[in-house]
Structure 1
Amino acid sequence: MADLVVRSTRVHTGLRELPAQIVIKDGLVTGLRELGETVVAARELDLGDQLVIPGLVDTHCHFRDPGFTHKEDLASGTRAAASGGVTTVFDMPNTEPPTTTPDRLRAHLDDLDRKSVVDYGHNASAVEPDLIPELAAAGAAAFKLWMSYDVERTYPHSPSTAVTDRAVLYRAFEEVAGTGLPLYVHPTDHELYNLNSSRAKEQWGVDPASYARSFRLGDSVAFNAAVATLLEFQRSVGTRLHVLHLSSVEGIRMVREAKAAGRSVTGEANPFAMFVTNDWDRIEQRGPFVLGQWVPPADDVAMWSAIVDGTVDVIGSDHAPHTTEEKLPGWKDMFAAPSGSPMIADYLRLLLTAVHDGRLTLDRVIELCCVNPAQLVGLTGRKGTLEPGADADFVVLDLDHVAPIDGSTSLYKCGWSPADGIVTRGRVHRTFLRGTEIYRDGEVLVDEGFGRPVIG
């Protein structure tokens, strides 16, 4: 007897959409049966025509825990994830202390085990190349580096999680290659960006508009030069390189060419760039509450083309909350205020709206948010799919829901969203993890610690 059978005329397994019964036992999908076929189960859930998709896998989250838990913590962040249809998360190492040693990584994974309501892994810091093999053995899902750090602020881009010395960066590539794990890199040339920041301040001052323009001076030269360096190191060493924040014409061209040559390179785009910071009017209206990096029109076209054509492999939320009090000083000096914004509860709504508007197909959204992220971290067949043998992680969608995003009613600890006011079509109605309902209509239904590790 199955534990649960879920019926819908619209089940997307990650590979195909079909009318089906999802048969679940011991937290796993054990079969897909035709509607009308007899299935014996302890519980039945008939969803009619509601769309069911695999739970999202988010490989790029900043939960601010430990060290900055006034912004977010592992419990609040993963509750927000569940509300956004995300059932597996991988958080980043810019915590305090950062996960630069095996002991710190083990402690962080233990903390996730106590607090997370969804399944989890962690992307460890690669700033100490000699420790990379030990970090991999201790349970790192992947490795993360920043190529630059903040000058006028100490967070979120700390010198303790950045590598600006190219020899050290090259050694990190070598050591990560030996583990077989992916290396995620935030590509910004440190010296070039500092030069551009100085020039922006001299020309426009320190307000949000100046800050936004500073990232794109020299036709995004600081970003593009960093991508060129990363791709050359990857060509030399063979590391599994995952390029974050793809959003420039030239950076996309370089990544596309590397992929066409068969190299082990993947790319990521982020929802704030796709829906928020590619709108100059929104930057002017909301300033520090959306920045981040501006995406000018030509880069926006290139980014969306790359998302559609497969150059971009993954959409990661880059969920990065700060409090309202921390953001407000950015109106006067954005260079000194923290960058980043919450997104994990909102991005599926934004993507469903793009599907409704014809900008993306549902198949492509599921590739970008479910199938490909699972593949990136070695979880193909287990996460990001509803084919038999996978964990029974799925999301029930209400595609008729039309409303503006309102971060004040979200599960974010900070109580706001960069997408506030954007009207979306479609939302998460219910979220299931390993066959257990963990979220429904604004309420998380499981306790902290329900999540399990997916690595090791």
Structure 2
Amino acid sequence: MMRIAGGTVVTPAGRLDADVLVSGGRIAGLVSREVETGDQVVDATGKLVLPGMVDVHVHTREPGFTHKEDILTTTRQAAAGGVTTIFGMPNLDPPTTTAETLQDVLSRYAATSIVDYNHNPAATLTDQVPKMAEMGIRAYKVYMVVDTGRTYPHPAGTGMHDHGDLLRMMDTIAATGKRFIVHPHDQALMDYIEGRYLESGENTPQAYAQAYAEREGVIWDTAIDVVLRLAEASGCPVHLAHMQTRRSVDAVRRAKARGVDVTCEVNHWMPFLSRWEHVERLGPYALSYWVPDDAREAVWDGMRDGTIDIAASDHAPHTREEKEIGWTRMWSSHTGTPGIQYFYPLLLNAALSGQITLERVVEMAAEVPARKFGLPQKGALLPGRDADIVIADPDAPWTITDADVLSRVGWTPYAGVTCGVRVDRTFVRGVEVYGEGQVVGHPGHGQQA
């Protein structure tokens, strides 16, 4: 039996000065310091003992785009960043839209994933939805967006915009009991807004950032209003990606008060990479999206009060070549940024600095995604749960560098950022997968969650 001793354990009931016992891949108990048991002792004195992050929004790029990333490199970063379960996304080649393509992806995870996993197939073919539900998935995904000036990262076969189609799909998914992840986007409004910028010759990172945030984020707000109303009409559990506007936070808050089964997420770039200074300094390497200051504060408020209930990385790596074109032709650059290796430490650092409580960070990163996405064995340090455990040092400042990046793309937008919390060790079902600055987990250790 393994004993993690001397740390501050963060549980759903709060912080405990207790030791964690692990046996057979599960948490056997939480005991006082005085109880003497355990033949293998892991010293966590002065450190935080946390549940591993359950990241429901991860782009592994496999199959089809493995020049950017693959499952092995993604899960190496996950282990280093305290992420013990990932849910992959369907914008692959071929896109995950059928039971056949889903089986291929799940087989790839089984062969090479270091951490536990699941996958969110695209819900665009009604007859495939029940078949994929029977394969143990926890959620479906759809994009309400079409790329302008490029064919990726939102490839054909993964999008849905017609409201009737969305309602039909929600009715279909509701019958499975699974959750429907939606990338909200009003494409008709975006076509008009983008067109005005492009017609005037504005194709810079600054123009792109302004276009997507234009009129206080109208393209996001109108789409989210539609999704919430259709979710209410269908009874389908929905999950909203990319929360970033004041009105969207208010809309979700009101929907929850009405009893709508909605969850929503904040991604790594919103709290840590969405300021105008990032757009100016990093250009295409910062985009994803720009969030104006008042909207960012509204999102932080939503994180603090539980309206925004899930932290998900939206890990989205692209090569330097795919980014560099964006300095002069941003609408041709692939958008998205790598983040899974650093999101949990940065959130913990935000708690250390008083921006949010440690308990809320753990709820968003582990407890709520596990509960809302049907993983009762994950997400909390409680007896009987999987021993997915992170030991983090809250007094170990370190500086993020490109040299430490485990992603295949070899860069991070956080290079030069100092973080006050360091992940020391990560365990997946009681097996150490990261420790002493090295990934020690073996490919194929991960299991479908």
TM range (shorter): over 0.9
Corresponding residue of 2:235 = 238
Contact 1:348 1:427 in 2 (8 A): no
C-alpha distance 27-189 of structure 1, shift in aligned 2 (>3 A): same
Contact 2:398 2:422 in 1 (8 A): no
Corresponding residue of 2:371 = 375
Is the counterpart of residue 227 in structure 1 residue 212 in structure 2?
A: no
**Normalized against structure 2, the TM-score is what?**
0.98
Corresponding residue of 2:102 = 105
Counting only pairs closer than 5 Å after superposition, residues 160-239 of structure 1 correspond to structure 2 as 160-203=157-200, 205-239=202-236
Corresponding residue of 2:30 = 32
Counting only pairs closer than 5 Å after superposition, residues 117-132 of structure 1 correspond to structure 2 as 117-132=114-129
Match of 1:18 among 9, 13, 16: 16
Corresponding residue of 2:289 = 293
Which of structure 1's runs of 4+ aligned residues deviate more than 3 A? none
Give the secondary-structure state (helix, strand or coil) at the position aligned to 2:254: helix
C-alpha distance 204-372 of structure 1, shift in aligned 2 (>3 A): farther
Contact 1:15 1:385 in 2 (8 A): no
Contact 1:56 1:86 in 2 (8 A): yes
Whole-Å separation in 1 of the counterparts to 2:241 and 2:387: 29
Corresponding residue of 2:420 = 425
Corresponding residue of 2:391 = 396
CA shift, 1:129, in A, is 1.9
Is the counterpart of residue 147 in structure 1 residue 144 in structure 2?
A: yes
Corresponding residue of 1:280 = 276
Is the counterpart of residue 86 in structure 1 residue 83 in structure 2?
A: yes
CA shift, 1:203, in A, is 4.7
Corresponding residue of 1:303 = 299
Corresponding residue of 2:46 = 49
Corresponding residue of 2:244 = 247
Corresponding residue of 2:445 = 450
| Superposition RMSD in Å | 1.2
CA shift, 1:288, in A, is 0.5
Give the secondary-structure state (helix, strand or coil) at the position aligned to 1:335: helix
Whole-Å separation in 1 of the counterparts to 2:252 and 2:172: 22
**1:286-319 deviation line (CA, Å, top 9, x unaligned):** 0000101110112111111111111101010000
Between the two proteins, what is the percent identity of the paired residues?
39
**Residue identity opposite 1:37 in structure 2:** V
Match of 1:333 among 329, 344, 358: 329
Whole-Å separation in 1 of the counterparts to 2:216 and 2:120: 31
C-alpha distance 299-73 of structure 1, shift in aligned 2 (>3 A): same
Whole-Å separation in 1 of the counterparts to 2:360 and 2:413: 24
**Residue identity opposite 1:7 in structure 2:** A
Corresponding residue of 1:434 = 429
**1:303-349 deviation line (CA, Å, top 9, x unaligned):** 11111111101010000000111110000111011000100001112
Whole-Å separation in 1 of the counterparts to 2:340 and 2:396: 19
Give the secondary-structure state (helix, strand or coil) at the position aligned to 1:87: strand
**Normalized against structure 1, the TM-score is what?**
0.96
CA shift, 1:379, in A, is 1.3
Contact 1:12 1:53 in 2 (8 A): yes
**1:207-245 deviation line (CA, Å, top 9, x unaligned):** 000000010222211111100110111111010011111
Corresponding residue of 2:63 = 66
CA shift, 1:257, in A, is 0.3
Contact 1:30 1:389 in 2 (8 A): yes
Contact 1:130 1:175 in 2 (8 A): no
